[in-house]
Chains A and B, each alone.
Chain A
Amino acid sequence: MSTPKSASATRARLQRRRALLRTLKLWIPRLRFLLFAIGVGWLFVLPSNEYNKHTYISENALLPGQVNTYYSWPQVHEASVYRDNIESISTSSIERTAYIENELRKVGIKTETQNFTVNALGKDIIILITDGGEAGVQAWLEAYHDNPRSDIMSSPLFLRSGAIQAAVNLDLPGTKDYQVLGIFYEGVNGQLPNLDLINTIVRIVRISGRIPIMLHDTGHVYWANDHGDYYSSLYNLMLTMKYQALGHSTGSHGLFFRYKIDAVTLYGHRMEASHQPFMFLEIGTAVESTFRSLNNLLEHFHQSFFFYLLPSPEKYISIGSYLPPSILLAHSQSSKEPKIEQKFPTPSPFNRRPRRILFSLTVLITTHATGIMIFFMIKNYFLLNKLASLLFIQDYFLVLALIIFILIKVSFVLVSIMESRAPTKNQIAHRIEKTNDTNSQDRPQQLEPAADWIILKCFTLAFTGMIISCLSVLNFSLAVFTALIVIIPFSLFQPHESKAIRYFQLFVLCLISPPGLLLLSGVDVGNFLKSTLMEYQLLGNYIVPFVCCLYWPNVLAYTVIVQAPIK
């Protein structure tokens, strides 16, 4: 307890504390660049072999590859006969369906959903053969769970089993041999299957020996105990992050995740004949072994990770390792706030510059409302396209024109309101005079209110930081990409004296706005919009609502900021 005799010591301590705070205040703005640099650097450390761990089977019940398989040459022969028969049938989907249904019934499998009981103690296996790719799977899933939510009309389903534990989607195009087995695992909105499922399949394929594995279709082929070099790992990560950020499912397996079913797609790749080809025997054995492992499961997949990144098939980065960089990135933004405050004097806690929060909030609300409006326009894209065709305009042109019109209008209105609110030259001069006059110490100083853009910038930055932090838990890749795009412009840009710099800032903001990004990436805008919208409507991909309702409004708020008057 401090006694009078230690007063000087206490004072020294207080002074030390003040000095420390001052240095901190001075350093925080620089610190954020440091944070940003560390965050980005950390991201590039992720793929290195030293940083990530070897995968392991977490669920003991799985026992991959420890069960005898019975799939052998007679079954291979049967499979080839079926394949030849299916090939010989005309391309008519109805005839093919009839043939498959008939053959399945002949071996005693209930058809419609093709339900097949293995034995009394085990689990049911459902064989699903679809036409029309992901829409077919989605239709079946919706019918199975009796929960129609998309616009797919499907006939009712009467054959069902219980709760589905896991799904393996076999995508083996053509009828020839394959050289590499590709594993696709990203689902809608960046959801991933439990790591145990992938590990089981990889382990089984390894035991069977002759099949090399590839993640996606990257071309980087892995054999047992092979983890590839840094660049292949980086490439794998980048691809995964791209799919995750777009919320794009890399195969039909991606649709199962919503129903709490872990799933992967196995894809047969045909490459240059550098590897020994594999066929029905190897695939059949691996699939049988996988299903026997799954049959051992007593509980739903829950032991292993749901959040991970795979640099190579047998290496993983857990959420604990990859989350820090994205949090660092997010915080390098929100730590901008104190700097703005620091720039202006705060002589005592009772004497602050008035901050007009309400107006800035209104601006943010307006930009978000605009975003939602744009979202509804894009949602009705197909409807508007019809209108466009009536007016003889190119497909997406009408939508684009409408959106740009709205954006310009909104930002123009907001900027002009800000201009009208800003103090005129005379008022400023008057105020300075007043401040100089009043030399009295006894009453608190009446300071001019902070400029609107400062408050708006504070809010926008804090809001963006919050979005990125929240998103990094839901969809890490999307959070990282958003952060990388947004951080530098957002932290540097502010209204500037020079017209040229203002226009440059505006130009960069246009580039990082969604249409600008689309143009930069060089994709076919019409097709991209169409497929993304299809994914939104059929599969519930949330990239469109995210971009329209959360990302775009913040960029829009920034276009207002850079055009705002300085005072």
Chain B
Amino acid sequence: MQQYSVRELHLTFTQGRWEYDKWGYPLSSSAGTGVELWAWLWKNENLDDNWKSLTNALSGLFCASLNFIDETKTVQPQLSFRPEGPYNDTELYDSAELRTGSLPHENVCTENLTPWIKLLPCKSTAGIASLVNGHELYNSNFHSMSINVRPVCQDSECTHQQLEILQTLSTVINPVRNKGVRDWSLSELYNRKILRVCPLANESNLLLIIPEEGDFEIIPEADQVIKGETINQNIAIYDLKKDPHNLQLSMKWNETQFTYDNQVILPQVFAHRYFSGYGEERGGIKVNIFNKSPDLTIPIIYYDVIPWYLKLYLHTLKVRINGVEVNSKSKDYPIKDLYYQPAMDRSRPAVIEALIHLPSNSITTLSILFDKVFLKYTEHPPDANRGFDVGSAVITVVSNKKDNDDGEKTEEYGFKIESPIRIYTETLLVSLPTPDFSMPYNVITLTCTVLALFFGSMFNLLTRQFVGLLTLNDEKINEEKQDGNKDVDRRNEEAEK
């Protein structure tokens, strides 16, 4: 951190897609599929070098392709990704700059997990971390691991600051998929057991969010049950330090077959992004942003990075609310602030950042059209027919009340992170015009043949010595010609008759 003058750093590895309209919001910060890195760096003359070095260092540390975050993928967002540590607006912009980059195609696997585990005080030998089992983790519907490094205040005046490392790991495991019922136990889910608590830990708690009512049983009983954030929810707290029995946690439902609820409770804001159109020439990107709140207008920041090989046309940016197009001059126009960075071929991506006020209970649709670039054939990856990934768009829900700069938030049992809610859309796969890679060979052979023929005949003509052939036989040839003409004339005459 010091070497590359980093103020704050956030690195997330994600595999799978968080389904907002099925699972609600994630409890800890997660990101779009692949790897996402964003950092605030102290301003100095070699800030860009520092960023490059940082990505390379992290790449080595986490065995990931982070070094591929080059200038074609690096973005400086103007509205999104504010620092999560304490900061003061004017001071921040004078002294630090933000850099972000993401690799949507990056596969996350055990080689990334091991360095992550190594950062823990007891590694995976004790405490909750001993549940981390690569086999089960990568067989889940979704998993995301992140490292967040940020400064925190030591005292109330914030004169002394300290760096805090927060490591989170989220997975979504569905016991119904294998068993048909909701019963689970820790050892069954992770195929591991917690044998002891990490002695270095000050606290080691397990929290269960459970429904207020239901025909179920949790073994053992919770130490403490408190009211959850939303209605019909309780949080059961297990202190692992206090009671070793808590290490074998399981839950049983009195049911033989689980059927899903017909009514899905949707989160307030979520979004889906997709490509419109077909063919290899042009297309469009559309995003549906849902606001399910019955009475609140919710301001959000929409942030989307489009690679340079999709040439966006800003004039085609259209906004529809519930399917009705809104004119940009109308006062209902939901985009209040728009920051757009046009792409430059082979050097930087296009960036759209917009402050949008989502009307209550509405679907806001943004759409923009693009042309697909015909890439040079060396620019295609080895798996050319797979297509190119376009990273997630990020929707940041702007909280209405201004954050205090004290950094002193009520921390409820460690998992509540005071970052704003960030919603990640799907990553997209775009297929660009792909050459048939056996074709260059055919073209080369064919072209060479044609060239050889051309060259051969030209060479022949140029080097040949032309000699007149009008010799004694000239007369004869002329006579022949005449005869031929007469023959034909005779034939024509016959045809006339």
A residues whose Cβ falls under 8 Å from a Cβ of B: 1-4, 7, 10-11, 14, 102, 105-108, 110, 117, 119-121, 145-147, 156, 158-160, 162-163, 258-260, 298-302, 344-345, 347, 428, 432, 435
Contact = CB atoms under 8 A, between A and B. Distances in A.
B277 interface: yes
B385 A162 contact: no
B429 A163 contact: yes
A301 B431 CA distance: 12
Nearest to A441: B478
Nearest to A300: B385
Contact of B278 (A147, A300, A344, A345): A147
- Report whether over half of chain A's contact residues are helix, strand or loop; otherwise say mixed: loop
A400 to B, nearest CB: 36
Interface string B348-385: 00000000000000010000000000000000000111
B431 A7 contact: no
B323 interface: yes
Contact of A345 (B429, B464, B484): B484
B44 interface: no
B15 A120 contact: yes
Nearest to A107: B260
B489 A162 contact: no
Indicate the size class of the contact surface on chain B: 35 or more
Contacts of A145: 275-278
B260 A160 contact: no
A288 to B, nearest CB: 15
Contacts, number: 104
A1 B15 CA distance: 74
A158 B259 CA distance: 24
Interface in B376-432: 383-387, 426-431
Contact of A298 (B16, B383, B489): B383
Contacts of B278: 145, 147, 258-260
A105 B260 CA distance: 6
Contacts of A10: 467, 469
B101 interface: no
Nearest to B367: A146
Contact of A160 (B274, B323, B465, B484): B274
A7 B468 CA distance: 9
Contacts of A4: 467
B276 A146 contact: yes
7 contacts: A2-B464, A4-B467, A119-B139, A145-B275, A146-B284, A158-B288, A163-B387
Given A110-B22, A163-B429, A347-B485, A120 B143 contact: yes
B208 interface: no
Nearest to A428: B496
B471 A147 contact: no
Given A158-B288, A163-B429, A7 B469 contact: yes
B272 interface: yes
B460 to A, nearest CB: 11
B473 interface: yes
Nearest to B262: A105
A385 to B, nearest CB: 32
A345 B16 contact: no
Contacts of B463: 1
Contacts of A108: 176, 260
B408 to A, nearest CB: 37
Given A106-B260, A147-B277, 20 more contacts: A2-B464, A3-B467, A7-B469, A11-B473, A105-B260, A107-B259, A108-B260, A119-B141, A120-B15, A146-B274, A146-B277, A158-B288, A160-B274, A163-B428, A299-B386, A300-B385, A300-B387, A302-B434, A345-B485, A432-B496
B464 A1 contact: yes
A94 B17 CA distance: 32
Q: Which of B278, B463, B469, B484 has the most CB of A within 10 A?
A: B278
A345 B495 CA distance: 14
B15 A102 contact: no
B276 A102 contact: no
A162 B431 contact: no
B487 to A, nearest CB: 9
